[in-house]
Amino acid sequence: MLTAAPKGTKDIMPEEIHRWHFVEGKFRRMCENYGYKEIRTPDFEHTELFLRGVGGTTDIVQKEMYTFDDHGGRSITLKPEGTSPAVRAFTEHKTFANVQPTKLCYETPCFRYEKPQAGRLRQFHQFGIEVFGTPDMLADAEVICFAKDFLDEMGIKNVQLEINSVGCPECRPKYREALKDFLRPHYDELSETSKTRFETNPMRILDTKSEFEQELVKDAPMMVDYLCDDCRAAFEDLKANLDAMGIEYVVNPKIVRGLDYYTKTAFEFVSTGIGAQSTVCGGGRYDHLVEEIGGPEVPGVGFGLGIERLLLLMDENGFQFPEPEPVDVFIAVMGDEAKREGLRLMHEMRLSGLHAEMDILSRKVKGQFKYAARLNSRFTVMIGEDEIKGGVVQLKDMDAHEQHEVPLSQLKEKVTELLGK
RNA sequence: GUGGGUGUCGUCAAGUGGUUAAGACACAGGAUUGUGAUUCCUGCAUGCGUGGGUUCAAAUCCCACCAUCCACCCCA
């Protein structure tokens, strides 16, 4: 137990960290190009934020949050998602008073108490972006476009963009009633969870996995048919924007999203390649979330993208990550005097920007060369009594298997030159 | 929360109640005190997820727990 990370958590070990650095670097660069500024919010918030933001009827709030009282008696929750904290910070710092829109991006851990399986962890990580301050579907299109470009850039082929409109406080209640009217005659045939949802959140019944209910729901009224004029126009607008950018999508009227704050636009990038956890990126518009948590009327739209699922998909697509940087020069030593000379040299070379290594396990010469090869070192230099006396060393090119004779005093310069640094 | 699979060295893996738990890879050392391969030799689990139990005898059977994987649910 002491030697196992908690259930549903993972160490990211040195062997795989370059994969993370790679996607993080790409994401950051893309944020710069698209004008998104990074925001870092705490990893925990007042529980109330998520109750209000995510919504009290959602699974996330009802059974998945890591919630505890701190020593000051405050109810604290480890963030289960990235949008609510971003909205809180946006409001707290009165960012709405600045020139709009406000375009934010972040990378954050998220915590949800769930049973782990493929592509699902208790601590996982998300990239996210948010655009505040405009109701225009241009923003929605930009956000979706960002996600698509990023997934493209990561070499992911087998994903599909699905979009829907979930309406607004104007039209959604009417639709809910229509849906309940439709379901009511079949109420007794519904599963237990669906019965509960009938009252709390009937739209969630639409994405049921039960075959019987799927069949039943086939003829149910769809939100898209009940949209108010404003929402309908917005949805058409969005589709026109996506068409104009040549972004392919399918309208999936059953996308509901498990977070209550969404209005109008809802979208997901789904994949067939990573088991049952098929959504790699999900997002949408939230026109009343800022108000909901006590800010002014400011609309927003954004997405969250699961980094672990992204990595899974990249593997699935055979993505070739760039190799980690090799060691520039390895210093093999023999004898106590040479050891110290090696130590001094290694330090000097490191200070001038080279990646230098030496053996610190007292290996024999053969072992040192083997280790140098293992480290993928470009060059290896051998230093013993003779070299120190003569002031000349053999610098071995490990790939070409050739040796260069170099004055010891010129070693750093010679290595730098040969590496073209 | 529900259901199913799996748990033997760092990794892969044999073993299905009976002497000191195969083998491979990896790792370390050596084969005339200075160079990455190959070859050869040597070393490397008093212990088989943990704890109980059955038995003369258990990695092998039973029970519980834990971990892990997969699916449901839900989502990233």
Q: Which domains does chain A have, with CATH numbers?
A: 14-171+227-316 (3.30.930.10), 329-415 (3.40.50.800)
Interface predicted TM-score of the whole assembly (ipTM), two decimals: 0.83
> Is residue A309 pLDDT above 80, yes or no?
yes
Residue with more model confidence, A202 or A406: A406
Contact A128, A82 (CB under 8 A): yes
Look over chain A and give the mean of its residue pLDDT values, rounded to a whole number. Answer: 91
Residue A25 predicted with pLDDT over 90: yes
Of A110 and A212, the structure prediction assigns the larger pLDDT to A110
pLDDT confidence of residue A80: 96
Closest CA to A130 of A46, A61, A47, A37: A37
**Angstrom distances, CA of residue A16 to CA of A7, A10, A149, A267, A358:** 20, 12, 24, 30, 24
The H or E element containing residue A77 is strand A75-78
- Nearest nucleotide relative to A305: CA against C1': B76
* pLDDT at A421 (0 to 100): 74
H/E stretch holding A382 reads strand A379-383
Return the nearest residue to B71, CA–C1': A276
Q: What are the pLDDT digits (tens) for A46-91?
A: 999 999 999 888 889 988 999 999 999 999 999 999 999 999 999 9
Which residues fall within 8 angstroms of residue A336, CB to CB, at 6 or more apart? none
Q: Would you say residue A277 has pLDDT above 80?
A: no
- The mean pLDDT value for A395-414 works out to 90
Residue type, A16: E
E strand or H helix at A342: helix A336-351
Per-residue confidence at A1, pLDDT binned at 50, 70, 90? low
pLDDT of residue A212: 72
Would you say residue A222 has pLDDT above 90?
no
Whole-number Å distance, CA A367 to C1' B31?
Answer: 15
The residue lying closest to nucleotide B2, measuring its CA against C1', is A115
How does DSSP assign A10-68, residue by residue? ----HHHHHHHHHHHHHHHHHHHHHTPEE----SEEEHHHHHHHT-TTSHIIIII--EE
Q: What is the pTM of this model?
A: 0.90
| φ and ψ of A219, to 5 deg | -95, 10
Count CB-CB contacts under 10 A for residue A107: 19
- Distance, in Å, from the CA atom of A283 to the CA atom of A243, rounded to the nearest integer, reads 19
Structure tokens at A243: 């068409």
User: From the CA of A6, how many Å to the C1' of B47?
Assistant: 27
Nucleotide nearest to A83 (CA to C1'): B76
Q: Whole-number Å distance, CA A2 to C1' B18?
A: 36
Residue A388, CA: closest nucleotide via C1'? B34
Asked if the model's pLDDT at residue A217 lies above 90, the reply is no
H/E run at residue A337: helix A336-351
CB A227 within 8 Å of CB A165: yes
Rounded-to-integer distance, Cα A386 and Cα A394, Å: 11
CA A116, C1' B75: Å apart? 12
Protein-proximal nucleotides of chain B (any atom < 7 Å from a CB): 1-3, 27-30, 34-37, 66-76
Q: Does residue A209 register a pLDDT over 70?
A: no
Distance A117 CA to B61 C1' (A): 31
The pLDDT > 70 percentage for chain A reads 98
